Structure 1
Amino acid sequence: MTNARLGEALRLLGLGPAAARVYLALLELAPAPLSTMGPAAGLDDAELATAYAALVDAGLASAAEEGGDMVAPVPPTAGLEILARHRAAEVEESRIAVGGAFESFRRQRLAAYNDDLVEVVTGEAIGPRIRHAWASAREQIRQFESPPYFPLTGATEDALATLARGVTQRVIYSRESLEHPGRLHEAIEPVVNAGEQARVLPSVPVKLVIIDEAYALVSLSIKEADVHNTMLVVQPCGLLSALVALFEQSWHSALPLHGGTTRPGGLPPADRRLLWLLAGGANDDVIARELGISRRTLFRRLQVLMARLGAANRFQMALQAQRNGWL
């Protein structure tokens, strides 16, 4: 694994750049005195103490022995699992906080808001407005994607055409997106393989599309029965800034999904799809259905992948698959 990829993996688990540099120095020099790690990591004594304390707290490094300062990395399994759980808890807290703020806004202030800032689009006007939004993008589209889906013919083709124009697309898919029958094969994989930057979370707080820095399309609630019938168009204001911040925070915590051009070691497409579904939290029945195989065959494939990655369980397999660039 390159230093850049290891540093990115540690960042996703909540460790800062200084701690990542100290961890790399540990892997190269330890066991060694703690004082030797500062020059190797480019840190002064105070920065080194803070960064190393973060590694100890995360369960990735040993505390200096009493009367000496010899240090070394420790087996990371327990520490990595704790870090992963902490990150998941932070994302959930952020989702609840921002989602609650938006719901409060919707209930208390939407009716009184200036029509120039928030527009309500309903019924048959929604489809053309969505297509116009994608066509109007100049630099970037950011999206939370999850069922239920608006019945919009040609949506995948529109996304591919937008990518072909050079517009960056960053999409966070929910687990339900990967589980939705046919969605992974028909709508997600084609755009990811065409260059879309995709990540996945167990759930997303709202159905959302942000067009450049210009405006956002928001379903009133992902759970409401009229999700296909009511949509907000949010112009630049505090609410748009909050939605952008929610997306960016979720993006940094989500698990990357890569297309077919990034398969190291000739990973078969079926195994890559299996890992995507597993990382997204899909259960065994859903994974077997999407792959068109029996549960028995699924278990055999999981055992082969775990052996190939040197993993003792599914959590370790997902972590190792990410490190190897398989996700």
Structure 2
Amino acid sequence: MAHLLGPVGLNETDNAVYLALATTPRGTAQDIAESAELALPAVRRALRTLTEAGLVTTLLARPMRYVVAPPEVSIDALVSRRQQELEGLRASARELALRLRETPASAETDVVEILEGNDVIQHRLAQMQLSAQDEVLIIDAPPYLHGTPVQNDQELVTLRRGVRYRSLYHGPALQLPGHYEQMMACIAAGEQARTLASAPMKMLIVDRRVALMPVSFAAAETRTRLLVHAAPLVEGLVVCFEALWEQAAPVHGGSQPPREGLSDRDRQVLSLMAAGLKDQAIARALGVAQRTVVRRIAEMMTTLGADTRFQAGMLAARRGWI
């Protein structure tokens, strides 16, 4: 019961005071403050909140004393009220969505919007992913909005809802601190990932209806993005994504069955090699010694009968290793 009352919107102090009062029947505010080891003003505020919620009642005494209302009645009533409020919120959201769909958009916003500033872009990225219903397509490449790659928490939430993610990673960027681990965490959560030796663009497409992309693929990070709504433009970006997807090397997580003595780490090495990373970069991304990578690549090239790294990648793909 670390935070019993969290689901009904009460904070940790309210929760602590409620639980302390449950073990301090007919306690005064001072008694509860000592039991919960909280400041007296904070306890008094919490008692007012709990009383207004119907979870606590007062006794006519000096000083005023408090008792917990029967939980099976008071908490059930509070939960019912919260459910009614949430249902009201859901109905209002649906009504608002209908109004927005019925509101004619201007010619400019119907085609493209310009987003400027980290906070604005980050908010829209989160909003787009959390509203996804079917599929999210991502090309992950530098430069990055925050300077370095960061974990995409919205992806992990959206994957749990059953939305499909396909992500293309710019191979050399996987050697940036933490980026390989971030990719593998997303793969473990259900993402389909592939790598390219060089990703010529970066973008995010949601449900094949809206896309977010930089104003230029060549420039340094400008903290400006284009939000594309127009169907023909989005369809063109999807075609570009699919063409790159076909060229890219798959990245497997740790749940693939072994093939011909190939370990999970071997598949990771092959995927990064196919993405164009050198031995030192592969070692840095995987957190292993470079000599380990060199030795294992040499062994796999011998097994495959390959004379070059490129040939090894092609033969590994034919065998279904990557």
**Aligned runs of 1:259-298 on 2, under 5 Å?**
259-265=253-259, 267-298=262-293
Structure 2 runs not aligned, ≥5 long: 1-106
TM-superposed CA distance for 1:153, in Å, is 9.7
SS class of match (2:124): helix
Give the distance between the partners of 2:149 and 2:285, measured in 1 at CA: 23
Aligned to 2:144: 149
User: If each structure's helix is expressed as a fraction of its own residues, which one has the higher value?
Assistant: 1
TM-superposed CA distance for 1:190, in Å, is 1.5
Given that 2:144 and 2:221 are in contact with CA atoms closer than 8 Å, whether structure 1 keeps it comes out as no
Structure 1 runs not aligned, ≥5 long: 1-112
Aligned to 1:246: 240
Higher relative contact order structure (alpha carbons within 8 Å, sequence separation ≥ 6): 1
TM-score (norm 1): 0.59
Aligned to 1:215: 210
* Cα 1:154–1:145 shift into 2, 3 Å: closer
Given that 1:134 and 1:159 are in contact with CA atoms closer than 8 Å, whether structure 2 keeps it comes out as yes
* Cα 1:170–1:205 shift into 2, 3 Å: same
After the TM superposition, which parts of structure 1 deviate over 6 Å for at least 4 consecutive aligned residues?
Answer: none
Aligned to 2:164: 168
Given that 1:264 and 1:324 are in contact with CA atoms closer than 8 Å, whether structure 2 keeps it comes out as no
Instruction: State the identity as a percent.
Output: 39
Aligned to 1:42: none
TM-score (norm 2): 0.60
Larger Rg: 2
TM-superposed CA distance for 1:280, in Å, is 0.4
Equivalences, count: 214
Q: Deviations over 1:209-236 (max 9, x none)?
A: 0100221011112342333x10111002
Aligned to 2:128: 133
SS class of match (1:176): helix
Give the distance between the partners of 2:172 and 2:291, measured in 1 at CA: 23
**Aligned runs of 1:16-35 on 2, under 5 Å?**
none
Aligned residue identity for 2:116? T
TM-superposed CA distance for 1:202, in Å, is 1.9
Aligned residue identity for 2:108? N
* Cα 1:126–1:316 shift into 2, 3 Å: same
**Aligned runs of 1:32-51 on 2, under 5 Å?**
none
Q: Deviations over 1:15-36 (max 9, x none)?
A: xxxxxxxxxxxxxxxxxxxxxx
SS class of match (1:169): strand
TM-superposed CA distance for 1:126, in Å, is 0.9
